[in-house]
Every structure is written in structure tokens, then in C-alpha cells.
């Protein structure tokens, strides 16, 4: 069983995204569009599209939005093409930050990402400077209700192939190996569970804590990056405890 501390970053990221629902829909639509342009509109043969659809449905993106995006990507010759770029750097206090982007204008994106780092006490680094600190893992998050028994759910998640299972008062968290993600997800869906989050993300090997000054700047850096329409994901190893988060909020 995982300790609670490693999930604080996930929980805070979810709360931040919930407050920016429209931006989340836009970013997921962009990922679906790029996936279709890259390898076609059949999720059975297009893994990138299949993962994008899984994430979009977990975020409750309307089916009409998804279908419209797929049709647009499939049918428009000469439509915009997005390129994926990853940027790495250090936040205030030396926290590792990895930023995944999807853009039709690399120069604009790198300029805006660099500006966000600089403005909030960090600095953009060379490729590879922090990526070695992260590992790909599947992540499934299920909202708790009063009828869910923690011990029973934990056993079901383990039987489904979950690698690590954790919980707090509001959520169940399941971590998987990337190759096991879809199998675990399907097994839990067959038991009637629905997901608030279902995606493959990057987990840091080691988390770092920051003093209040650096922590406040770090949270502003994360928010600034996530607010950028070209930024798809922001990963970091900053660990904020509930008490510190309450002080800074």
C-alpha cells in the first residue's frame, strides 16, 4: 500500500483541473485531434487515440464534442497539425518540473513556457535534466461513496491487477504498470466502477518538500503552466502536505 503523501500532488492537480473545466475539454480535444491525424480514427488500432478517448470520457467530455473532433481531424485536408514537445526544468527550491505540450507554433510555446519558469522563480533546463526522475504509470481514480467498502474494493483492485492502491476520505487511487492499465481498467469497469481519472502519467521517483516561500511560488508556476492552452500535462516532484497547503491557500 502506498503512503498518502505521494497522492497529494495528484489530488491538487485534479482540483486545479476541475476549476478549469473548459480548458480541460480544449486540451483533450486537441489530443484527440492530434492522435487521429497521426494514426487514423480507429481506436482499436490507434493506441494514442484510445488513451485520449479514455481520458476524455473520464473527464466527462461530451460525446458530441469527441465525435466532432474526430470527424474534423479525419476529413479536413490541410488542417492544422500539432507537434508534441517536452520541456524540462527546475522550479523554486530546485523541484523537478516536466512539461508536455502540443502546439502548432513551437516558438510561441517555448517562449511562454520559459517565461512562466522565469517569472515564478524557476529555470528551463536541457532535455534530460529531470526526466530520469519520473516513471510512467497508469492511474485510476474513483470517487468514494458511502456504500463502498474499503477492504472489499482494495481486494477487487488487487485482483484486477492494481499495483498500488491507496485511499483518502474522498477517493480511491489505483496505480498500475502502463502495460496493465487497460486490463485493470476493464476489469474494474466490469464490476461497475466508473473513473474520475483514467490515464497514464509520470510519477516522480522521489518527492521533495519546499519551504513556504518556495512552495507558494511553485504552486503559481504550476498554475501558470497548466493555464497555457499549449500545455497538456505538468509533472513535478513537489510534495505539499495538507497543513502547508492550508497555510498557503
| C-alpha cell belonging to residue 110 | 517555448
Residues 213 and 120 in one domain: yes
- Residue 100: strand pairing partners: 86, 233
Does the model's pTM come out above 0.95?
Answer: no
Rounded to the nearest angstrom, the gap between the alpha carbon of residue 129 and the centroid of all alpha carbons in its chain is 20
pLDDT at 66: 93
Burial of 99 (0-12, 13-18, 19+ CB in 10 A): buried
Residues 32 and 147 in one domain: no
Residues 16 and 38 in one domain: yes
Counting the structural domains of the chain, the total is 3
Q: Give me the half-sphere count of Cα atoms (radius 13 Å) on the Cβ side of residue 96.
A: 20
Q: What is the CA radius of gyration of the chain?
A: 18
Residues 22 and 61 in one domain: yes
Residues 143 and 48 in one domain: no
Residues 18 and 57 in one domain: yes
The answer, yes or no, to whether residue 65 has pLDDT greater than 50, is yes
Asked if 107 contacts 65 with a C-beta cutoff of 8 angstroms, the reply is no
Residues 165 and 48 in one domain: no
| pLDDT (average), residues 34-63 | 91
Residues 71 and 158 in one domain: no
Residues 177 and 141 in one domain: yes
Range of the domain at 40: 4-75
Task: Print burial letters for 147-157: b (CB count within 10 Å at least 16), e (below 16).
Answer: eeeeeebbebb
The answer, yes or no, to whether residue 212 has pLDDT greater than 70, is yes
CATH code of residue 209: 3.30.70.980
Report the C-alpha dihedral over residues 161, 234, 45, 69, rounded to 10 degrees: 130
pLDDT at 77: 56
Residues 192 and 139 in one domain: yes
pLDDT at 20: 66
Residues 213 and 198 in one domain: no
Residue ending a domain, among 75, 98, 119, is: 75
Residue ending a domain, among 75, 108, 124, is: 75
Q: Minimum mean pLDDT among 22-26, 128-132, 215-219: which range?
A: 22-26
| pLDDT (average), residues 173-183 | 94
Residue ending a domain, among 57, 75, 93, is: 75
Q: How far apart are the first and last CA of the chain?
A: 29
The answer, yes or no, to whether residue 19 has pLDDT greater than 70, is no
pLDDT band of residue 2 (cuts 50, 70, 90) is: very low
pLDDT at 14: 52
| C-alpha cell belonging to residue 176 | 498500475
In angstroms, rounded to a whole number, what is the distance separating the alpha carbons of residues 191 and 176?
Answer: 17
Degrees, nearest 5: CA angle 222-3-171:
70
Degrees, nearest 5: CA angle 33-195-226:
50
Size (the chain), residues: 249
In angstroms, rounded to a whole number, what is the distance separating the alpha carbons of residues 123 and 11?
Answer: 25
CATH code of residue 67: 1.10.10.200
**What confidence tens digit (pLDDT) does each residue in 103-120 have?**
999 999 999 999 999 999
Residues 138 and 127 in one domain: no
pLDDT band of residue 78 (cuts 50, 70, 90) is: low
pLDDT band of residue 3 (cuts 50, 70, 90) is: very low
Amino acid at each position: 500500500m502506498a503512503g498518502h503523501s505521494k497522492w497529494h500532488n495528484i489530488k491538487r492537480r485534479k482540483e486545479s483541473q476541475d476549476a478549469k473545466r473548459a480548458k480541460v475539454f480544449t486540451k483533450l480535444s486537441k489530443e484527440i485531434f492530434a492522435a487521429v491525424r497521426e494514426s487514423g480514427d480507429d481506436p482499436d488500432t490507434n493506441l494514442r487515440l484510445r488513451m485520449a478517448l479514455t481520458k476524455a470520457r473520464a473527464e466527462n467530455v461530451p460525446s458530441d464534442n469527441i465525435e466532432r473532433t474526430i470527424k474534423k481531424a479525419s476529413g479536413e485536408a490541410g488542417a492544422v497539425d500539432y507537434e508534441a514537445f517536452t520541456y524540462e526544468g527546475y522550479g523554486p527550491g530546485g523541484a523537478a518540473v516536466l512539461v508536455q505540450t502540443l502546439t502548432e507554433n513551437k516558438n510561441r510555446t517555448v517562449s511562454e513556457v520559459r517565461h512562466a519558469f522565469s517569472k515564478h522563480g524557476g529555470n528551463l533546463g536541457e532535455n534530460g535534466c529531470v526526466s530520469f526522475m519520473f516513471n510512467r504509470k497508469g492511474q485510476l481514480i474513483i470517487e468514494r461513496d458511502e456504500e463502498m467498502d474499503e477492504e472489499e474494493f482494495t481486494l477487487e483492485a488487487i485482483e484486477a491487477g492494481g499495483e498500488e492502491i491507496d485511499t483518502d476520505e474522498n477517493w480511491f487511487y489505483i496505480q498500475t504498470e502502463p502495460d496493465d492499465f487497460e486490463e485493470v481498467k476493464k476489469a474494474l469497469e466490469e464490476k461497475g466502477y466508473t473513473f474520475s481519472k483514467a490515464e497514464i502519467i509520470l510519477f516522480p521517483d522521489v518527492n521533495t518538500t519546499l519551504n513556504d516561500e518556495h512552495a507558494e511560488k511553485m504552486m503559481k508556476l504550476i498554475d501558470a503552466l497548466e493555464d497555457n492552452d499549449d500545455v497538456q500535462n505538468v509533472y513535478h516532484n513537489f510534495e505539499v502536505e495538507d497543513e502547508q497547503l492550508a497555510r498557503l491557500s
